[in-house]
Amino acid sequence: MAGIAPDRESVSPQLRRRVKFVRRVDQVRGIPEEELRKLEKVAKQYVFRANDYYLELIDWSDPQDPIRQLIIPRLEELSDWGRLDASNEAAVTVGPGVQHKYRDTVLLLCTEVCGAYCRYCFRKRLFMDDNEETTNDLSAGLAYIAAHPEVTNVLLTGGDPLIMSTRKLRDIFEGLRAIPHVRIIRIGTKMPAFNPFRILQDRELQDLFREHSRPGKRIYLMAHFDHPRELTPEARAGLARYIACGAICVNQCPLIQGVNDDPGVLAELYRTLSWCGCQPYYLFQGRPTAGNEPYEVPIVRGWEIYQEALSRVSGLAARPRFVMSHATGKIEIAGVDERHIYLRYHRAKDPADYGRMIVCRRDDQAYWYDQLERAEGGWAEPRAESSKGGRHGRHQPAGRARRAGRQHRGAVADQRHTCEQTTRCDCSPTPD
């Protein structure tokens, strides 16, 4: 799985290319006709989109090729599992396309389109016909940010902001730079992997970064490389161009079964990114999103992969945190031993939970916080809180058998009792 695609080493990083989008899975060459018929059903449920540049990275002779796993639909996505808004983002939505979960950071969902669609996307609901979470009019979002001086960071996301025109990006950048307390603009994007020519060929975009990423008020490019084969000569040249234009580049990616759930692959990814000046930032535990069952990796196995990968790289490449983006905050997986899983709130929706430690019983099958049982004598649990949508119990993937009578965590640290409900429960902390 590891290694830069050899057939791309000879391609000039400066090659000008206009990528061609592929919007139907039956337009992809290399998929047998019989398999295509099955995958079209999946693509109707969870939309497919790619481009010719990225599809060329696939080794079609290998059914388990990691780039293929990342971008081509799989029949297993149709299993009755998970939910579309697995981290309850609806509860932190304060206006059209505006989320405010952590005190100093606001998210602006400014587009529902990406350069291509990762099969494991946790926001695939945005690509569905009834989506109303994104907005093209960011005036209300800008007004909200201007009215909240505690907000120093704004994350442009969606969708992928770099799919938008440079003119539209200029409008957004200028609107944010007119707000004095906004110091950092973050751009959550996989375009450096999907289409590195976006920056290489657009001098206006390069000038835009130079103009708006300066000392004291930076643009952070939150890149999304999942596998070292994505770091082609063109992609590396693209990262170099973003950096030359003043952007600070970091990388965040989930742990994905069949793509990077191998310590050698993850180590090579981190090592190469550090050489490119794009420092690893977060490794995410996959959210229990509808359609994502074939891509999930259990927490304990993920921790072992993560630790082994870090042991193979330099200190500069070993800086990412392994976290879950849970409804209550970013929960760092801080350790695993024979009996326990140790968790810590790296970021918390409720500021009182920041830094709080939680000790849970080890469960090698669990893939999400809500499946874990707190250990006896463990540190205090986060307190329950109300949300707009009421108090919700622990999420369990739909269609998966639950064990009635399971013990739930109480709202008070030592409160434990048995709940007979199997879907929602007011005895456990709300996930938001």
CA distance linking residue 181 with residue 149, whole number of Å: 6
Res. 113: pLDDT tops 90:
yes
Q: How confident is the model at residue 387 (pLDDT cuts 50, 70, 90)?
A: very low
Per-residue confidence (pLDDT) for residue 15, from 0 to 100? 58
pLDDT value of position 380: 52
Over residues 289-303, the pLDDT tens digits come to: 999 999 999 999 999
Q: Over range 318-322, report the average pLDDT.
A: 98
For the residues 2-15, what does the mean pLDDT come to?
45
pLDDT tier at 423, thresholds 50, 70, 90: very low
**pLDDT tens-place string over residues 327-378:** 999 999 999 999 999 999 999 999 999 999 999 999 999 999 999 999 986 6
For residue 96, the tally of other CB atoms under 10 A from its CB is 16
pTM of the model: 0.85
Residue 10 burial class via C-beta count within 10 angstroms: exposed 0-12, middle 13-18, buried 19 and up:
exposed
Average confidence score pLDDT of the chain: 86
What pLDDT digit, counting tens, does each position of 58-72 carry?
999 999 999 999 999
Residue 430 has pLDDT above 50, yes or no: no
Cα–Cα nearest to 156, from 148, 164, 167: 164
Taken in order of first residue, the domains within the chain and their CATH numbers are 17-78 (no CATH), 89-348 (3.20.20.70)
pLDDT band, residue 17 (cuts 50/70/90): confident
Tell which residue, 366, 343, 359, has the closest CA to residue 297.
366
* Backbone torsions φ then ψ of 214, nearest 5 degrees: -135, 165
Q: Are strands 340-348 and 329-336 parallel, antiparallel or unpaired?
A: antiparallel
- List the one residue out of 372, 368, 363 whose CA is nearest residue 409: 372
pLDDT at 420 over 90: no
Question: pLDDT tens, 189-211?
Answer: 999 999 999 999 999 999 999 99
CA-CA distance, 360 to 371, in Å (whole number)? 10
